[in-house]
Amino acid sequence: MPWFYERASQIEWPRIRELMERALDEARARICRSPRRVLLLPPDITRMHSGAGKMTEMLYQMLAKDADVHVIPTLGQHEPHSREQNARMFGSIPHERIHAHHWIDTVVPVGEVPAEFVKEVSRGAADWAIPIDLNTMLMREKWDLIINIGHVVPHEVLGFANHNKNYFIGLAGKRTICASHIAAACCGIENNLGTLITPVRACFNKAEEDFLGSLPDFYIQIVMARNPEDQLVHTGIYVGDDLDTYLMAARQSREENIKVFEEPLHKVVCYMQEDEFVSTWVANKAIYRTRMVMADGGELIIIAPGLKRFGEQEEVDRLIRKYGYVGTKRIMELYRTNADLQDLAHAAAHLIHGSSEGRFTITYAPGHLTREEIEGVNFKYADLQETLRRYPIDKLREGWNTTPDGETIYYIPTPSAGLWATRKKLYERPPGFEC
C-alpha cells in the first residue's frame, strides 16, 4: 500500500507543498534518516502541464540545505532540455544540478527480461528478450535517496504513464526502449491504452523486482483532472514505494481521465501546446488518445503551433520522413526487410501508433513544417492561421462546441492528459487487456 495519499476535487499548491514535506518525512523514517546525496527523477518538459517540475523544485529547496541534490529529467530518447527549458520547467534549481540523460552513451547494462517471460505475458505477440540498460549516474553512483515524480495518465505503451516508466523508458538505453516499444506495438496500441498492467508494464515490473530492489527509492504519483472552469487541476497525490502506489493512482486516472462515449466522434480538434510539443513524436499523442473514439471516415485535426520536426533525434526524424505513417501491415513488412527500422525499432513502433490504419483522416496544422513535409509522411495539411480562425482555441472549451462558421466539433485542449474511447473499444478487448 502507499505510504499515504490524498484525493480531492482540487489539491491547491499550499497543500501540495505540505504533502511534499510529508513525503520527505516518511522517506527519512523509512529509507534514510539523514540523506546526504539525493537524486530527483522528474518527467521531461512534455509533462510540464502536470506541475511535476514545480514539485521537483519544492523538493530540491527542502533538501538542498542539508544534502547534495541532483536532478535527471527522465527524457527517454527525447531531446535534452536547453538551459531555458530547464529554467521554465524547474524554476530556481541551478542548471548545473540538472543532468541530461542520453539513451546512447550514458547507460550501462543491468540485465534482461527473458524472452520466455515476454512471450508469456504478451500471449505470443512478442517473443524476444528485453535488455535492460539504465542511466550510468543512476546505477553507478551512491545515493541515499531517489525520488521519482510523475504524472499518471493513460499511455500507449504501458497503459498508464509513470511509476517505473521513469526507469525503464525515461532513463533507459536504446536497446531497452526499442525492444519494449516494438513489443507494445505488436500487442496493439488500442489494447494497451487504459489497461492497468499491459504486457510491457508486466515486463518492467519484473525488471524492477529483479534489478532495482536495492535502490533507496520511492514514487510521488500525480493525478489531474479538469475542474468546472475547464482547468487542469491536481486531484490526487500518491506517495509510496510499491506497485499499489501506482495502481491506486492509475485507478483514479482511469475514473477521471478516460471519457467514454456510446457512439464514435466524427470531427475532433486537438490543440498541442507550443512550448511542449515540437515534434510529431510527442504531438501524435493527439492521435493515440483519440483513436479509440474516432469514427470510421471521421477527421482528426491537430493544431500544433510549435511543430518543427518529426522525430526527437535526427536519425529518427529521417526514418519518419523516409517511411511515413502508413499503417501496421506496411510498417511491419518494411520492418522485416529494412535494417534501419530494425536498428531503431522504437521508430517502427511509433509509425504504427501514429497511423489511423486508414480508418479516419489526420490533418496537421503545424507552426513550422511545410505542406510538402506533412503530406510526405501521409498526413493531411492545413494552414495554421486559417485553422486558428476556424477553430479559435481561446473561445473553445473541452467538449462539444459550435464554431463561428456553425460547425459542430469536439474539442480537446490537452489530449496528452487523457483518453477518449467508445464503450465498445474500451471494454470489449482481448483477455489480458482489461481496463
**Whether the Cβ atoms of residue 94 and residue 63 lie closer than 8 Å to each other:** no
Which of 258, 282, 316 corresponds to the end of one domain? 258
Strand partners, 408: 402
Note whether 296 and 236 are same-domain residues.
Answer: no
Per the domain annotation, does 11 fall within a domain? yes
Per the domain annotation, does 434 fall within a domain? no
CA 398 to chain centre: 21
Long-range CB pairs of 81-87 (<8 Å, 24+ gap) are 81/44, 81/45, 85/45
Note whether 133 and 166 are same-domain residues.
Answer: yes
pLDDT of residue 434: 66
Contacts of 231 (CB under 8 A, 6+ apart): none
pLDDT of residue 153: 95
3-state secondary structure (DSSP) of residue 64: coil
Residue 90's Cβ-count burial label (10 Å; 0-12, 13-18, 19+) is: buried
Per the domain annotation, does 433 fall within a domain? no
Note whether 169 and 204 are same-domain residues.
Answer: yes
Report which residue type is found at 86: N
pLDDT of residue 49: 86
Q: From residue 209, give the alpha-carbon distance in Å to each of 38, 159, 179, 213, 348.
A: 22, 19, 19, 6, 29
CA nearest 220: which of 22, 10, 14, 81?
22
Note whether 272 and 373 are same-domain residues.
Answer: yes
Per the domain annotation, does 267 fall within a domain? yes
Note whether 219 and 296 are same-domain residues.
Answer: no
Which of 224, 258, 292 corresponds to the end of one domain? 258
pLDDT of residue 435: 65
Per the domain annotation, does 435 fall within a domain? no
pLDDT of residue 46: 81
Which of 205, 236, 258 corresponds to the end of one domain? 258
Per the domain annotation, does 139 fall within a domain? yes
Note whether 350 and 227 are same-domain residues.
Answer: no
Note whether 190 and 300 are same-domain residues.
Answer: no
pLDDT of the chain, 435 residues: tens digit per residue: 999 999 999 999 999 999 999 999 999 999 999 999 999 999 998 888 899 999 999 999 999 999 999 999 999 988 889 999 999 999 999 999 999 999 999 999 999 999 999 999 999 999 999 999 999 999 999 999 999 999 999 999 999 999 999 999 999 999 999 999 999 999 999 999 999 999 999 999 999 999 999 999 999 999 999 999 989 999 999 999 999 999 999 999 999 999 999 999 999 999 999 988 999 999 999 999 999 999 999 999 999 999 999 998 899 999 999 999 999 999 999 999 999 999 999 999 999 999 999 999 999 999 999 999 999 999 999 999 999 999 999 999 999 999 988 999 999 998 998 999 999 999 988 877 766
Give me the CATH number covering residue 42: 3.40.50.11440
Note whether 185 and 274 are same-domain residues.
Answer: no
Note whether 239 and 297 are same-domain residues.
Answer: no
Place of cell 505513417: 325
Q: How many domains does the chain have?
A: 2
Per the domain annotation, does 200 fall within a domain? yes
Give the ranges where 41-162 is alpha helix by DSSP (H). 52-63, 83-90, 115-121, 136-140
Strand partners, 270: 302, 412
How many Å apart are CA 350 and CA 181, to the nearest integer?
A: 8
Note whether 206 and 278 are same-domain residues.
Answer: no
Note whether 117 and 242 are same-domain residues.
Answer: yes
The answer, as to whether pTM is greater than 0.85, is yes
Domain with 42, as residue range(s), is: 4-258
Note whether 46 and 172 are same-domain residues.
Answer: yes
Per the domain annotation, does 330 fall within a domain? yes
